[in-house]
Structure 1
Amino acid sequence: MKLKTSLLALSLTAAMPLTALADDGAERLTDLLDSLETYTADFEQQILDGSGQRLQEARGQMWLSRPGKFRWEVDAPYRQEVVSDGDEVFLHDPDLEQVTVQALDTRVTHTPALLLSGSAAQLTDSYEVSHQQQGDTETFTLVPRGADTLFEELKMTFYGERFGALQMNDSTGQRTAIEFSNIEVNGSIDEAHFVFEIPDNVDVIRDDH
């Protein structure tokens, strides 16, 4: 079954007890995200069913520059690109010879792939945020406030204040878990990463909704 990127795993195995910090979760997440200007990383993504069986896996690279600019490239097993220039989002499927174009939706409940590139205020306005800490690992659980969302729960994990993992659970019990590596925070990124030129001889679908 072909992977369709559902942007954007965590495993807390240490024996020390977890400290739940629900009251200050949104404030703490805002502090961490406000310091994030650019982010580049490699990723490994797994999609699991409700029983934990692996359905799909993929790997690739990502780049982001806040606000609103993002590039997500899946290298294997199937190539795919998702690029945001801050105004529009382009989904390129080379195998299908198809590009889907839509306006960047500032409601982050509708664009989980762009979670990190949006404003922290939008994020905490759109989700109820709880916070758990285990040593220098901090996990934020985000539950959408509205019903019209792509997932029921999102978890963001920071290791030593550096974003390192993302997990999304949908209403069917399916889980998308993404681990990041070779991370660089607030480095220089060529703006060309956020420019997408539609290839010749592809079908272009424009989604105005």
Structure 2
Amino acid sequence: MNVTESSVTKQGAKWVLGVLGVVVMAPTVWADAAQQLTQRLEPLQSYNARFDQQIFDGSGERLQQAHGEMWLSRPGLLRWEVEAPYTQTVVSDGEDVYLYDPDLEQVTVQEVDNRVTHTPALLLSGSVDELTQNYEVMHKQEDGKDVFMLVPISADTLFEELHLSFDDETLTRLLMTDSTGQRTAIHFSDISLNQWIDERQFVFDIPDNVDVIRDTH
């Protein structure tokens, strides 16, 4: 993997750490959009799905496409496995996030950032207060799906917009944009909701003979 591929790869993995990006659309404001979104997220205790991820630059040129599988358990547990065209593992145990890049023989470890504007996964906590305090929430119907657009209120954030698309009550797509205009689109399939997930999925054992980089806030 060359330097350019590696940098794009890590940018794609950052959605678990808080960087998501999105296709811009013209939303309509729902007076109770935050409440409606919270009602969608509250019942979610676990989530397992296949994913297809595409990253685009500001001009719309595709920089990367990848696919794999993810597991999430509320609160704060996540495993993101990229299978192709490269391999990569991201694991959050609720306290630390591990990014393992086998090609670089490197593991990056950083503490979970509990600021909700930095970690969209915290939206799964289903708190109305967190939503309304940290985001402007808007809603629209698009192709028969409910789409919620979240714009962080604080300027101290790693993304500018986050879109969540629901098919009926199920989250099926994340669309995101960052300050550089880079966009990430993640589509989920073969979705399993609120099923048992082995807790060992959220434990990462650092392999022998790899470089370990500890990234402190």
TM normalised by structure 1 equals 0.89
3-state SS, counterpart of residue 20 of structure 1? coil
3-state SS, counterpart of residue 192 of structure 1? helix
* Moved >4 Å (runs of 4+): 8-11, 115-119
CA contact (8 A) 2:21 2:160 kept: no
Query: 1:191-206 alignment to 2 at 5 Å?
Result: 191-206=199-214
Correspondence 1:153 to 2:140: no
- For residues 125-164 of structure 1, the C-alpha deviation after alignment (integer angstroms, 9 at most, x for no partner) is 3211111125751100010111121111110100111000
CA contact (8 A) 2:174 2:187 kept: yes
Cα distance in 2 for partners of 1:136, 1:67 equals 30
Q: Determine the structure 2 residue equivalent to 1:64.
A: 72
Q: Determine the structure 2 residue equivalent to 1:120.
A: 127
TM normalised by structure 2 equals 0.85
Correspondence 1:28 to 2:36: yes
Query: 1:6-21 alignment to 2 at 5 Å?
Result: 6-7=14-15, 8=20, 20-21=28-29
Cα distance in 2 for partners of 1:135, 1:177 equals 16
Q: Determine the structure 1 residue equivalent to 2:187.
A: 179
Correspondence 1:101 to 2:100: no
CA contact (8 A) 2:46 2:197 kept: yes
Q: CA deviation at 1:188?
A: 0.8
Q: Determine the structure 1 residue equivalent to 2:48.
A: 40
In the alignment, structure 2 segments of 5+ residues that lack a partner are none
- For residues 99-139 of structure 1, the C-alpha deviation after alignment (integer angstroms, 9 at most, x for no partner) is 11111111122234x34554534344321111112575110
CA contact (8 A) 2:89 2:100 kept: yes
How many residues of Structure 1 are paired with residues of Structure 2 in the alignment?
A: 202
Go from structure 1 to structure 2 and tell me whether the alpha carbon gap of 1:179 and 1:135 turns closer, same or farther (over 3 Å shift): closer
Q: CA deviation at 1:43?
A: 0.4
Report sequence identity in percent.
58
Which amino acid is 2:211 matched to?
D
